[in-house]
Chain A
Amino acid sequence: MLEIKNLHASVNGSPILRGIDLTVNKGEVHAIMGPNGAGKSTLSKVLAGSPEYEVTEGSVKLDGEDLLEMEAEERAAAGVFMGFQYPIEVPGVANSYFLRKAVNAQRKTRGEPEASSVEILRAMKKAMAFLEMDAGFRNRPVNVGFSGGEKKRNEILQLLMLNPKLALLDETDSGLDIDALRVVAKGVNSLRDPEHAFVVVTHYQRLLDYIVPDVVHVLVDGRIVHSGPRELALWLEEHGYGAIKAGDAGDAPRLEA
């Protein structure tokens, strides 16, 4: 589904990504781990089309289509969703209104008929109940005055409503208590099926207890330096990134060739 080849990207002229190769197939969950400043968040933002970054080399294809040629909103309509590490506040705009706008903007771009307010409201109520969100969130302005956990739940609500083929979750676990983490994972897992794919960016293996990945990649200095099965995350927690950073993965679990 997603094919990244030799991706280089920089911000204000300084390179962050220095040659990423990554293939994510339908139905897979890939975790991206790595130390601070390795480029994990950059990778998701570049894939989502943030104008902050400049792609200097490489290619990214989504189901064979050139993702880098698309505007951010076109990527969204093509099925790329990014869960933000720091969800943005939009004062004065009710959550429900925003979701209706977003769902229908994507449908319009894809040439599909727009959903009615009633349809969207029904879906929203269902998703909110599933995510154990208070009904009051419907009318609250987007992320304004939300706690960290509420913001992340709200991201997952958007994820469920927009139902993308590829979800990029950027540090979705940061600032979450264990209950919120469980709910967020429940939301993500409910979408797991042979059609959906996930790239989960995280610092800690804790999230991966709840969202169990098929593959774990270690990102260091803008490159994926090591890839392994789910157990790699546990190994990393024990040994840290130091050894891998130094180029000596030792007995770290690795993918079968």
Chain B
Amino acid sequence: MGNDPIDTQLSSSYKYGFSIDIEADTFPPGLNEEIVAALSAKKKEPEWLLQWRLKAFRHWQTMTEPTWAHVEHPPIDYQAISYYSSPKDTDGPKSLDEVDPKLLETFEKLGVPLHEREALAGVRKVAVDAVVDSVSVATTFRKELEEAGVIFMPISEAVHAHPELVKKYLGSVVPIYDNFFAALNCAVFSDGTFVYVPKGVRCPMELSTYFRINEAMTGQFERTLIVVEDEAYVSYLEGCTAPMRDENQLHAAVVELVAEGSGEIKYSTVQNWFPGDEEGKGGIYNFVTKRGICKGNRSKISWTQVETGSAITWKYPSVILKGDDTVGEFYSIAVTNNRQQADTGTKMIHLGRNTTSTIISKGIAAGRSDQSYRGLVSMGRKASNARNYTQCDSLLIGKECGAHTFPYVDVKNSSAQLEHEATTSKVSDDQVFYLRQRGLSEEDAVQLIVNGFCKDVFRQLPMEFAVEAQKLLEVSLEGSVG
């Protein structure tokens, strides 16, 4: 690393002056070192983070967009994107009372009734760290979490409040050189969430962040970092919606999970960003890097996702099974309709002994959409007795959609065991007629078939999410038959 020209360049401090008004609520479109530095300055970041961003930015400039995914889109003009925008009045609201009522209204529409959740806290507690266009505006239940020793805050705050933790783990799972979109995220990440659960603590509630893309032409570069120590546990819910719009929006988030000792992380996503209209116009490009590492022995990471939105999805939540006896899981439902494209799957990297991974992927394609499952199961030389079970099922609705499966396997240890099952089925006319003959409408019939198809994954979702996910599927598949 010492001889790396990028490193050398980094050692010289930033030499450009500011031409960006860092008081502005929105930066002008464009991306260069000045923008990166202004972004960092805006957040009053420490020098090390600025240098980290610049290093990533310089590396990103040498990279090209990946083209191997089974998706198509016009070239993205990274200079046409504004890399910072914040809602009005973001002077650190300390309670919900200080939050712009307009925003609260939006949350209501999105089904995030913060007040209600607070009131219901005695029953089932869900803390929401709401992210609207790059800046966290409300954080609830922080006190109770603090008492448990759990840190749950915007990552921009964590940089100041817990620099040693952020510095230790940021980029430790998804390095800045990892891929084009991850490098871009490192350079310009706006905000996101930081979670830390100390040794022996079971997080007393499910943590939830609702993301929402608000202003037109604002790229979203969220950064999430979750660390659990030995014998600690956290369940984290990520859910998103977005309003209608015309311009394509780039979203390149990075999520890093670290399970130390025998820690366990359950990460659930319901993703419902605007998928574009029936002709595929508008809609969000979702190019996300999600990866977790099971560092300690007997640690466990579980990804569950329900993906119904976005015009294009490029996403492979992965687990590096480094410790012995570690467990990685990936449960996924991906729904595409109309002109949506999705290339999604997972990577299970078995390094330790007796490591186990399970992959259950359910893809539903309707309309003229196209989707691919792309998965890698890798078993390293030292991964003796590693096991993987993969089940990839595709369900097609109509005649114009497509489903593809690209499973990759790389085994370097002869004691490894792998099982792979894959099916492709259609919602048949006979099935629909049968259900209609019993009284169900055509849409209810398809819905019932789809829900049955997805059952194995719904079962993995926290209760309230499972309900929301079923509703999302209904909405996503509206008009896909008939």
Interface residues of chain A, those whose CB is within 8 Å of chain B, are 48-52, 71-73, 75-77, 81-82, 84, 87-93, 98, 101-103, 105-106, 109, 141, 158, 162
Contact = CB atoms under 8 A, between A and B. Distances in A.
A52 B429 contact: yes
A93 B452 contact: yes
B437 interface: yes
A102 B438 contact: yes
Given A72-B433, A105-B444, A162 B451 contact: no
7 contacts: A49-B436, A76-B437, A88-B431, A93-B449, A101-B440, A101-B448, A158-B438
A114 to B, nearest CB: 12
Contacts of B444: 101, 105
Contact of B433 (A51, A102, A106, A109): A51
B435 interface: yes
Interface in B433-464: 433-442, 444, 448-449, 451-456
A148 B436 CA distance: 22
A177 B409 CA distance: 48
B147 interface: no
A105 B439 CA distance: 6
Contact of A76 (B428, B439, B448, B455): B439
Contact of A92 (B430, B434, B452): B452
Most buried by B among A76, A103, A106: A76
Given A51-B429, A52-B429, A105-B441, A90 B436 contact: no
Nearest to A97: B448
Nearest to B455: A92
A49 B454 CA distance: 29
Nearest to B431: A88
Most buried by A among B453, B454, B456: B453
A102 B448 CA distance: 11
Given A50-B433, A87-B434, A158-B438, 17 more contacts: A52-B429, A71-B436, A73-B437, A73-B442, A84-B437, A91-B452, A93-B448, A93-B449, A98-B448, A101-B440, A101-B448, A102-B438, A105-B439, A105-B440, A109-B439, A141-B452, A162-B439
Nearest to B444: A105
Contact of A88 (B434, B442, B451, B453): B434
Given A52-B429, A52-B433, A105-B444, A93 B438 contact: no
Interface of B: 428-431, 433-442, 444, 448-449, 451-456
B477 to A, nearest CB: 16
Residue from B437, B452, B453 whose CB has the most chain A CB atoms within 10 Å: B437
Contacts of A98: 438, 448
Contacts of B435: 88, 90, 102
Nearest to B430: A88
A44 to B, nearest CB: 10
B449 A72 contact: no
A78 B441 CA distance: 14
Q: Main secondary structure on chain B at its contact with chain A? A: helix
Contacts of B440: 73, 101-102, 105
B424 to A, nearest CB: 13
Nearest to A106: B439
Given A90-B452, A105-B444, A141-B452, A162 B438 contact: yes
Contacts of A82: 437
Contacts of B452: 90-93, 141
B449 A90 contact: yes
Nearest to B362: A92
Nearest to B434: A88
A48 B453 CA distance: 26
Contacts of B431: 88-90
A82 B433 CA distance: 11
Contacts of B436: 49, 71-73, 76
A84 B430 CA distance: 11
B249 to A, nearest CB: 34
B433 A73 contact: no
Q: Which 8 A-B pairs have the closest CB atoms?
A: A92-B452, A93-B452, A106-B439, A88-B434, A102-B438, A92-B455, A72-B436, A105-B439
Nearest to A93: B452
Contact of B451 (A87, A93, A102, A106): A93
A152 to B, nearest CB: 14
Contact of B438 (A51, A71, A76): A76
User: Which among A50, A51, A73, A82 has the greatest number of chain B C-beta atoms within 10 A?
Assistant: A73
Contacts of A158: 438
A158 B452 CA distance: 19
Contacts of A75: 437
Contacts of B456: 92
A92 B439 contact: no
A52 B435 CA distance: 15
A101 B151 CA distance: 44
A72 B437 contact: yes
Contacts of A103: 439
A106 B435 CA distance: 12
B439 A102 contact: yes
Contact of A77 (B439, B448, B454, B455): B439
B435 to A, nearest CB: 7
A66 to B, nearest CB: 18
Nearest to A73: B436
B331 to A, nearest CB: 14
Contacts of A84: 434, 437
A101 to B, nearest CB: 6
B456 to A, nearest CB: 8
Contacts of A109: 439
Contacts of B437: 48-49, 72-73, 75-76, 81-82, 84
A98 B451 CA distance: 11
Contacts of B441: 73, 105
Nearest to A141: B452
A249 B368 CA distance: 56
A196 to B, nearest CB: 17
A105 B440 CA distance: 6
A135 B393 CA distance: 30
A103 B448 CA distance: 14
Contacts of B455: 92-93
B451 A92 contact: yes
B427 to A, nearest CB: 10
B474 to A, nearest CB: 13
Contacts of A50: 433
A105 B433 CA distance: 15
A109 B441 CA distance: 10
**Max chain A C-beta neighbours (<10 A), residue from B434, B439, B442, B454:** B439
